[in-house]
Structure 1
Amino acid sequence: MFWLWLALASFKCLLLYILAKTGESLPRRVRLDEAANRALPEDRWPVVGMIVPMAGTDRRMSAAVRSLLIQNYPQYIPVLVTAKNEEPAADLVRSIQNDYPHVRHVVAGAAQHCGQKNHNSLRGVAAVKDDVEVFVFCDSTHMARPNFLRHLVGPIATGEAEFSTGYHVVDPRDQRPVTLAYALCVLLMRLLQAVSSLTQLWGGAMAMTREAFSRFAVEELWASNVVDDCSLSARLQSLRVPVRLCPGALLHTEAAKHERQVWRAWLERQVLFLKFCMPLQWGLLGFMCAAMVLPPLLAVFMLLGWLFAKVSGLTIVLVLLWVVLLAKVLHLWRNLLKRTISLARWCLSFLDAVAMFALVYVRSLPARSIVWHGQRYVVGPCGKVLRIERRFE
C-alpha cells in the first residue's frame, strides 16, 4: 500500500505543480500575442462571422452577449441563433437588436440528427458563409473583453493556424464549496488546454477559416454528432492538424451560489463528450481520476493503521509532509484566480472536486446517452446521434 501511495501521491503533486507553472506562463504568452496583433495592419484582419447559439434563461446571457457585440475588431458579423422564434432566448435577441440593429437573428428549428447546439451553429454558418472568411463560435453566457476577438483570430490572420481556440475562467463571487470547486474544475481544464500536446478546440470560443471548415467537412461531421468541439478535435487529431491556443482569448464566467446539481450536470457532459468522441482521452481521464482519488484514501487507511500500530511513524510523517506539499501546490493554483480565497476553503473545495470527479467518472462507465438542455441524446460510436428523446425530464 505504501509504495502505491507514494507513486500516485508523487505523480499527483508533480502534475498539479507543472500545471500551476504552466498557468503562470500564460500572461507572457498573452503579451507576445498582443505584440503580434498590434503589428498586423488593419486591412490584414479577415472578415469574421461570429455565431452565438443561444438557449435557456441564464441571467448572465444578456450582459455576456452584449460584451461580444462591442469588440474592437475591424469587421465582424454577429449572428445570434435560437431553436425557436418564441422562446426566452429569442425574446432576448429581439431586445438586443433594439440596441444593435446590425445583429442577425437566425431561427434554426429543432435538430433531428445532431445536438441542438450543432444544428444552431450550422444554421448560423449558412446565414453568413458567403460574406465572411473566418467562422467564430462563442457561447452566450461568458463575458468577453473588447480585445477577445482579436486574440482569437490573430493566429489565423497571420497565417499561423487554420484553427484557434480560447477558453474561460470562473470568477467566484462567493466562497461556498461548490462555487470554488466549479472554479477549480474549469481552471484544471484551462491549464490542460495550455499544454500544447493536449490543446483541443473549446466550443465556447473557437475559430476556423471558411476554407478549413469546408476542407475538413465540418458541416457533415456536426450534422450527425452530439457535440461540436470534441468531435472536430478528434478529427483534427487523427489528421495531425494543430489547434492554436490563444490564451488572451479568455472569457470570464461569473459564479455565485452555484448549485451542486448544476455543477454535476456540467461535469458529466464534459466527461461524456470525451467518452463518446475521444475514448482514448477518456481512458487517460480515468487514470487521472485514480491518481487524484487514491492518494488521500490510502493516506486515511495508513493513518488508521498507525493508530492500531500496523504502520510505522515514519510513514505517517511522509504522509503529513505530502499534505503540506499538496497545500503549497494548491496555493499556487489559488493565485492563478487572482482573488482572495481562504486556503482552507480552497483545499476543502479541491477534495470536493476530486470526489465529484470520481462520482461522475464512475457514472460515465455504463452511459450510452447524455442529457442536455432538457433533451436526451442516445449516442453511438464517435459521438454519432442515434436518437433524440425530446422533453426529457
Structure 2
Amino acid sequence: MSWVFFLIGVVAVVASSLPVLLARRFLRDIREALGRDPDRGYRPKVCLIVPCKGLDPDFDVNIGAFFDQDYPDLELILVTASRDDPAHEALQKRLHAHPQVRARLLVAGIAPGRGQKINNQLKAVAEVGEDTDVLVFMDSDARPGPGFVRHLVQPLENHQTGLATGFRWYMPVQGGLWSVLRSAWNGGGVVFLTDPQANYAWGGAMAIRKKTFETCKVADRWQTALSDDMTITSAVRSQGLGIRFVPQCLVSTHEDCTFAQMLEWTNRQTIIARVYHPALWWKIALAHCVGNAILVLGVALLVGYALGWAADPLILVAALLMLAIIPMEMLNGLVLLPAVLEMLPEHRRQLVRLFPAYCLLAPPASILALMNTIYSLFTNRITWRGVTYEMRSPTETIVIQEQP
C-alpha cells in the first residue's frame, strides 16, 4: 500500500508542474509578442461600445479613459438601460464636458429575456453607422490607456483572425485579503490566452470586424443569451476563425471587494462557465478536485506518520511529495510575475509589492475554485449588477428579478 501512496505522490508532483510549464510558455509568448512592433498602422473606422449600469468605483475616471483614446476615426457609444440609472446623468455630464469627442448616449430599455449588458450592446450595434469597420466592446469598470483601442484592433488586419481580445487584471486599491484573493483567482486564467486552441474572448475588451459580427450572426446568438463573451467565442470559432490575445490590452480594474462580493463574483464566473463552456468547466473541476484531494491525503499521511500510525518511511516520502503541490502552486505565481509586469509596466511597483501575497494565496485560490465548482453544480442562477438571471441553456435566459 505504501508504494501506491508513493506513486500517487509522484503523479501529484508531475501534474503540479504542468501549470508552471504553462506559465513559462505564456511568459515566452508574451515576450515574443511585445518584442514585435505592435502597431502596423492598421486604422479601421471604429465604433467603441460601452454598456453601463450603476456607478462603479472611480466611474468618472474610468469613463474619462474612453474619451481620451488616441485614435483618429472613432465613435464612442455609451448605453444605459434607463434614464433613471445613476450612470446616465454622469455620462451626460461627461458628454457635455467633451464636445470635441464624437460620442453618443443611448437608452436601451429593460432586457426581456437576455442579459442587460447584451441588451445594451445590441441597442448600440443597431445604431452603428454603415461605414463602421470594427466594433469594439468594453466594460465601464476598465481603465484603458490612450493607445488601447489602437493596439486592440491591430490583429484584425489578418482576416483569419475573427476577434481580438484583452483581459482584466484586478488591481486592489487598499490591498485587503479578499481583494487580493479575487485578483489571484482571476489571474489564473490568463495563461490560456496565448494558446490558439484554448483561448477565448473576454467581454471587457473585444474587437471584431463588423462584417465578421454579421457573418457569425452574433446578434442572433445574443438575443436570448447572458454571456456576451462566451457566446461570441462560440460564434467566431464556428466560422473557423481565430481569436488573438493582445498583451498591450491587459486592462487594470481598480476595485476592492468584501468576502461576500468576492464569493459572489467567483461563483458567477464558474456558473457561467458551466453553462456556456462545459468542457472547460470539467477540466477546471477535475484539476481542483483531484489536486485538493491529494493535498488532504498528504496531510493525513503526514499526521499518521508523525503519530506513529504508519512507520514506513515511504509513507513520509509520499506525504511530502503530495504536499509539494503547495510550493508548486506558489512557484507558478512566481513564474507568471514577469509576464504580468511586462504587460502592466505602469503598475510595476504595486504588483511587485503584492506578489508575495499572490504567491501565498495561490493554494487558497485553488480551494476557492473547488468551492465555486461544487456550488455551481446546484444552481444555474446568478445575480449580476442587481439583476437575477436563470440560465436554462446557452440560448435561453430568464430574468427572475431586478432589484430596484
Alignment TM-score, normalising by the size of structure 1: 0.90
Alignment partners' CA distance in 2, 1:323 and 1:46: 47
Q: 2:317 aligns with which of 314, 318, 340?
A: 314
**Aligned-pair CA distance for 1:141:** 0.7
What are the residue-to-residue correspondences of 1:1-393 with 2, within 5 Å? 1-23=5-27, 25-34=29-38, 37=39, 39-40=40-41, 44-101=42-99, 102-159=102-159, 161-256=161-256, 258-309=257-308, 310=310, 312=313, 313-319=316-322, 323-335=326-338, 336-337=340-341, 338=348, 339-341=351-353, 345-385=357-397, 387-392=398-403
Q: Taking structure 1 as reference, are residues 250 and 280 closer, same or farther at Cα in structure 2, changes over 3 Å only? A: same
> 1:129·1:210 contact (CA, 8 Å) conserved in 2?
no
Q: CA 1:330–1:98 in 2, change beyond 3 Å: closer, same or farther?
A: same
Kindly indicate whether the alpha-carbon contact (under 8 Å) linking 1:61 and 1:140 is maintained by their aligned counterparts in 2. yes
User: C-alpha root-mean-square deviation of aligned residues, in Å?
Assistant: 2.3
| Identical columns (%) | 22
**1:10-59: CA deviation from partner (whole Å, max 9, x where unpaired):** 2123213422441354143133252xx2x42xxx5111010000012212
* Counterparts in 2 of 1:265 and 1:92: CA distance versus 1, 3 Å: same
Alpha-carbon distance between aligned partners in 2 of 1:129 and 1:220, rounded to the nearest angstrom: 19
- Say if 1:323 and 1:244 are closer, same or farther in 2 by CA, change over 3 A: closer
Q: Give the letter aligned to residue 30 of structure 2.
A: L
Q: Indicate how the Cα distance of structure 1 residues 112 and 33 shifts in structure 2: closer, same or farther if over 3 A, else same.
A: farther
Partner SS for 2:236: helix
In structure 2, C-alpha distance between the alignment counterparts of 1:375 and 1:199, rounded to whole Å: 28
Residues 31/287 of structure 1: CA separation in 2 closer, same or farther (3 Å cut): same
CA contact (8 A) 2:63 2:140 kept: yes
| CA displacement, residues 307-351 of structure 1 (integer Å, 9 cap, x when unaligned) | 133152333454565554444333223443542336663343222
Instruction: Return the offset for 1:284.
Output: 1.5
CA distance 1:72–1:342, change in 2 (3 Å): closer
In structure 2, the residue corresponding to 1:74 is in which secondary structure? Answer: coil
The aligned length equals: 385
Instruction: Tell me the secondary structure at the aligned position of residue 161 of structure 2.
Output: coil
- In 2: Cα distance, 1:269 partner to 1:123 partner: 25
Residues 131-184 of structure 1: CA deviation (Å, up to 9, x unaligned): 411110000111111111111101113545231111122223444322221121
User: 2: distance between equivalents of 1:214 and 1:170?
Assistant: 32
Unaligned runs of 5+ in 2: 342-347
Q: d(CA) in 2 for partners of 1:74 and 1:63?
A: 22
Report the Cα distance in structure 2 between the residues aligned to 1:321 and 1:357, rounded to whole angstroms. 19
Taking the aligned partners of 1:239 and 1:323, their CA distance within structure 2 comes to 41
Q: Is the 8 A contact 2:115 2:226 kept in 1?
A: yes
State whether residues 302 and 320 of structure 2, in contact with CA within 8 Å, keep that contact through their aligned partners in structure 1.
no
- More displaced 10-residue stretch of structure 1: 325-334 or 140-149: 325-334
Stretch of structure 1 that moved more, 290-299 or 84-93: 290-299
Matches of 1:307 and 1:344 in 2, distance apart? Answer: 30
1:235 deviates by 3.0
Q: Deviations over 1:41-99 (max 9, x none)?
A: xxx51110100000122122211121122112121100000001122110111121122
